[in-house]
Amino acid sequence: MLLSTGMELNSALTSILIGVIIVCVGILLDKAINKWLISPLKSLKRGDIVQLKLISRVGITFILLVILMYIYGQHLASLTLLVLTVIISLIGLRPIIEEYFTGQVMKFIDEYRIGLGDYVEINGIKGYVVKTTCLGIVVRNSRNELAHIPYTKLVKRVIKRIPAKEGIELQVKFKVPKETNIDLLKVKLTDYMTQLGVEDAKVEVLSLDTDSTELIARGVFRDLRLIDDIKYRVLDKVWEIVSKGK
């Protein structure tokens, strides 16, 4: 009698211990999946991320139940639950699977083969590609803001793309006081732009007002990631030339 009671007590304690271990493992797995797999997926819609979190937790629970049932000899039931877990996981991971394979297919299509430094315009978003991931691209706009664009959005919208190696036309408009020596300004600013790596650099007069002259500095610059920095440096140089001429 005492032996039977002792065995039941040991069995109960073992079950409790297994249960505690499974719960701890489940919590650790949930935190690891959220940190390393779900959190980096910023390019997905909020609803998809919430769905992924729910599916991951359901999947973790089912897998732990499979292990528990297998330990207690419920082999057929554990196999059935495992198959069900795989099916649910595939359904839940559909957004990730779709984005990943869309990105892989895009690599073989010239129109959608987007690389670092490319300039893109899509659905009101304009900027330069600063990062590519397995699920989308990251674009930096003129206000230094980052936008995450999934691959599926790229193929469903009309996009304008300029590869980094082709460069883009640089245009900087500015006004100077009417008494400014325009010829000297043109020479100095053109030389400075050439030093910065601007090809076919030139400065032209756009209009004349009663108290100022409007000009435009233009040329072709190859490194699209630095285009905004080049514009500011050109404007700084204009201010420097005009200030020294006073």
Is it the case that residue 3 has pLDDT exceeding 70? no
User: Phi/psi at 143 (nearest 5 deg)?
Assistant: -95, 15
The per-residue pLDDT for range 116-148, each reduced to its tens digit, is 777 788 877 878 888 888 788 888 876 778 888
For the chain, helix, strand, coil in percent to 5 are 60, 20, 20
Query: What is the total count of domains within the chain?
Result: 3
DSSP bridge partners of 188:
none
Q: What percent of the chain has pLDDT over 90?
A: 13
Of 37, 70, 92, the last residue of a domain is 92
Q: What is the CATH number of the domain that holds 196?
A: 3.30.70.100
The 8-class DSSP code of residue 124 comes to T
Look at residue 2 and tell me if it is in a domain.
no
Tens-digit pLDDT profile for residues 175-230: 999 888 899 999 999 999 999 888 889 999 998 888 899 999 999 887 766 778 88
H or E element in which residue 154 lies: helix 151-156
C-alpha to C-alpha distance for 195 and 209, rounded to whole angstroms: 31
> Residue 179 belongs to what H/E stretch?
none
Q: Are residues 177 and 237 in the same domain?
A: yes
Query: What is the torsion angle, in degrees rounded to the nearest 10, for the CA atoms of residue 69, residue 73, residue 75 and residue 78?
Result: 0
How many whole angstroms separate alpha carbon 179 and alpha carbon 191? 22
Q: Does 142 share its domain with 173?
A: no
Q: Residue 1: inside a domain, yes or no?
A: no
Residues spanned by the domain of 131 = 102-164
Choose the final residue of a domain: 72, 92, 112.
92
